[in-house]
Amino acid sequence: MFNEVKKSVEWGEDTLTLETGKVARQADGSVIATYGETSVMANVTFAREQKPGQDFFPLTVHYNEKYYAAGKIPGGFFKREARPTEKETLTSRLIDRPIRPLFVDGFKNEVLVICTVLSHDLDNDPDIVAMIAASAALTISGVPFMGPIAAARVGFEDGEYILNPTVDDMHELRNNPDQRLDLVVAGTKDAVMMVESEAYELSEAEMLGAVKFGHEQMQPVIDLIIDLAEDAANEPFDFSAPDYSALYDKVKSIGEAQMREAYAITDKQDRVAAVSAAKDAIKAELSEEELGDANLGTALKKLESGVLRGDVVKNGKRIDGRALDTVRPINSEVGFLPRTHGSALFTRGETQGLVVTTLGTGDDEQMIDALQGTYRSNFLLHYNFPPYSVGEVGRFGPPGRREIGHGKLAWRALQAVLPAATDFPYTIRVVSEITESNGSSSMASVCGGSLSMMDAGVPLKAPVAGVAMGLVLEDDGDYAVLTDILGDEDHLGDMDFKVAGTAEGITSLQMDIKVAGITPEIMEKALDQAKAGRLHILGEMGQALTEGRQEFSEHAPRIETMQIPTDKIREVIGSGGKVIREIVETSGAKVDINDDGIIKIASANGEAIKKAYEMIHSIVAEPEEGKIYTGKVVKIVDFGAFVNFFGKRDGLVHVSQIENRPLNHPSDVLKEGQEVKVKLLGFDDRGKVRLAMKMVDQETGDEIKKEEKSDD
């Protein structure tokens, strides 16, 4: 009934197993990859024909996590997995990026890859397993895919690289000083295709070493996929790339000169209009048959690419006239908005980000329900890319995959320099509104985010800047590495290589390759060139701010922390939260208590914080003998008055201790509700509090000293 094929290899600390032939047999390729006890099923299907008129490659990748994989039931009202989480969206992109360039040129049939997490051992992250499963499923499916690829995660501790560190090791690296790197690398047998990383000021040499280490360590996985394919692969799909050379030659002869003139224009909007006019002029010279050719779009793009790439490699000439290693002009402004907690406007050429920082309390932390458990995050970064930023009309709505991915890249770059939560007990939300875009708005978000947080008073360890690098690699091996790429250089080039970091080292590296990989030599040159660009940008940013402001915005909350014994938590909260509600209502401050007895008191009003602090302190602290307190008379009896003087604690002022004269009754001088100053004399044998008023000046609250008797 089943034609099962199973292959295994010892890899790192666990066994990696690939199996096919038993599940999802109607898919073109189906593989279950298991590493340790983490299993991911990848299923691949592809259309046998290209849709008429389609001039792009419609590859779709979906990675989805099932809560049953970790023995959990989803939260929420419906108790069912709903829209993709951020982790699912990011992992879908992680799988897509290295496989997309490896489909045969000209193949435009629809391809669907679905990866489903079936089991999670809480040690091995499913993302790496999913990438391997997807690669194996594509390799055996028969689709024209020039793989396989493999992937590996690399950690860095005590100067040593670690293959596939555990989920716990990689979780919240900011709070784990021993771990300095979380890097995912994917590649073929010969070359690296993709890198994604979160780092803690690693040097260029250390980052390059991590990439090389990961590529070396993934080789047994590539061999395992090939071994599986030899026994289980389908017949290759009969596909030949269409020959559109005649159409391209005609397009080139008609429009090359006008296209060169268009790409000589430095202003983006004018250039876009000129390129569009050049395409229209070309189409006007074509026949009806040529206009209906599905390869016309490809031919036009090839002409654009040839014009741009040839000048760059042969003449070192870029679209806007810059040298290969020159960064566009930069302008940085802080305090751009009047009522926000922190804001910055960062402009680099025709790319601009308005980045705003908001400081919140513990109540504002994001709760993340992940397969490995629920945890909180006190640093949020959201990136928005509206159509007007590129002068277009189009969809405007919830963030898409690209926006989530760019936001996470900026988050990784910045979170490495944040202060510890114990030193800076705020929730930090950074929002990057991209107002103009012509190349690397994610790196503008990094620069603007760093300035915005410093403007808000966040004590960053160091400012962070980012730069996007590009590559043009010709068939003869000649290449040019470009610093601070434009949108067209990204679109028509061979590499998008983003590096962010401080003056001391790299905090994030992301690389995508559109050709069959690059050599270590090219990567080393790109890293060195990126470092020079990053240092230049940091210098330009420094003209606005170099460190966090010492004072918060008057509109930002102040937070004061206090530690109380854990056995006092119940007293502060009170039955049904009665006490803490009273503290909040009376003081006007927000109060947050965790299970360790750490209390955060927040308000934009310093007096409100002080009031809440005093109220909490009076609950948890013990009164000190000999100290003077301000209290309120709560009850008068024949033998004295009871005074509430310390939180909810009452004490007796005996009638003899009210004034330095005999009284017929305490009510002669006191009434209920009256505010009085009392001194704590001590406690009687039964633990009752003894108070006195007569030795305290009721106006000033100072103790009245006895006059020393004269010797005369």
* Strand-by-strand arrangement of the 598-603 sheet: 558-563, 598-603, 590-593
Size of the chain in residues = 712
DSSP 8-state secondary structure symbol assigned to residue 435: E
pLDDT confidence band for 706 (50 / 70 / 90):
low
Structure-block tokens of residue 4: 């099962």
Asked if residue 309 has pLDDT above 80, the reply is no
Strand partners for 117:
40, 65
Element (H, E) at 20: strand 14-20
Instruction: List, in order, residues 6 or more apart from 10 with CB less than 8 Å away.
Output: 16
Q: What is the pLDDT of residues 685-704, one digit of tens each?
A: 777 888 999 898 888 888 88
Asked if residue 416 has pLDDT above 90, the reply is yes
pLDDT confidence band for 243 (50 / 70 / 90):
confident
**233-247, 457-471, 476-490: range with highest mean pLDDT:** 457-471
C-alpha distance from residue 368 to each of 86, 184, 379, 420 (Å): 10, 22, 12, 19
Asked if residue 91 has pLDDT above 70, the reply is yes
Asked if residue 658 has pLDDT above 80, the reply is yes
Asked if residue 222 has pLDDT above 70, the reply is yes
636: how many CB neighbours lie within 10 A of its CB?
Answer: 18
Is residue 94 a contact partner of residue 184, using CB atoms and an 8 Å limit?
Answer: yes
Q: What is the pLDDT of residues 511-568, one digit of tens each?
A: 988 876 577 888 899 999 999 999 999 999 999 999 999 988 888 888 888 889 888 8
Task: Specify the amino acid at residue 667.
Answer: S
Q: What is the pLDDT of residues 357-403, one digit of tens each?
A: 999 988 888 988 888 888 889 999 999 999 999 888 888 888 899 99
Judged on CB neighbours under 10 Å (0-12, 13-18, 19+), 520 is middle
Q: What is the pLDDT of residue 707?
A: 56
Q: What is the pLDDT of residue 60?
A: 97
Q: What is the pLDDT of residue 529?
A: 94
The rounded distance, in Å, linking the Cα atoms of 652 and 656 is 11
Q: What is the pLDDT of residue 133?
A: 98
The rounded distance, in Å, linking the Cα atoms of 391 and 397 is 17
pTM, to two decimals: 0.85
pLDDT (mean) for 109-126: 96
Nearest to 463 by CA among 421, 426, 500: 500
The rounded distance, in Å, linking the Cα atoms of 654 and 666 is 9
Nearest to 462 by CA among 580, 545, 386: 545
User: CA quadruple 241, 244, 246, 248: dihedral positive or negative?
Assistant: negative
DSSP 375-421: EEESEEEEEE--GGGGT-----SS--HHHHHHHHHHHHHHHTTPPPT
pLDDT (mean) for 183-194: 93
Q: What is the pLDDT of residue 516?
A: 67
Q: What is the pLDDT of residue 307?
A: 81
Asked if residue 684 has pLDDT above 80, the reply is no
Q: What is the pLDDT of residues 47-90, one digit of tens each?
A: 999 888 777 899 999 999 999 999 999 887 888 988 899 999 99
DSSP 563-610: E--GGGHHHHH-GGGHHHHHHHHHH--EEEE-TTSEEEEEES-HHHHH
pLDDT (mean) for 179-205: 94
**CA-angle at 628, arms to 627 and 632, nearest 5°:** 135
Q: What is the pLDDT of residue 712?
A: 42
Q: What is the pLDDT of residue 617?
A: 85
pLDDT (mean) for 198-226: 96
β pairing state of 506-513 and 495-501: antiparallel
Phi and psi at residue 645, in whole multiples of 5°?
Answer: -125, -15
Q: What is the pLDDT of residue 708?
A: 44
Is residue 129 a contact partner of residue 39, using CB atoms and an 8 Å limit?
Answer: yes
Nearest to 643 by CA among 681, 600, 606, 686: 681
Asked if residue 177 has pLDDT above 90, the reply is no
Mean pLDDT for all residues in the chain: 90
Q: What is the pLDDT of residue 517?
A: 58
Q: What is the pLDDT of residue 127?
A: 97
Element (H, E) at 210: helix 204-217
Q: What is the pLDDT of residue 291?
A: 86
Q: What is the pLDDT of residue 521?
A: 84
C-alpha distance from residue 214 to each of 134, 146, 338, 561 (Å): 18, 20, 47, 43
Q: What is the pLDDT of residue 479?
A: 85
Q: What is the pLDDT of residue 701?
A: 84
Q: What is the pLDDT of residue 298?
A: 85
Asked if residue 432 has pLDDT above 50, the reply is yes
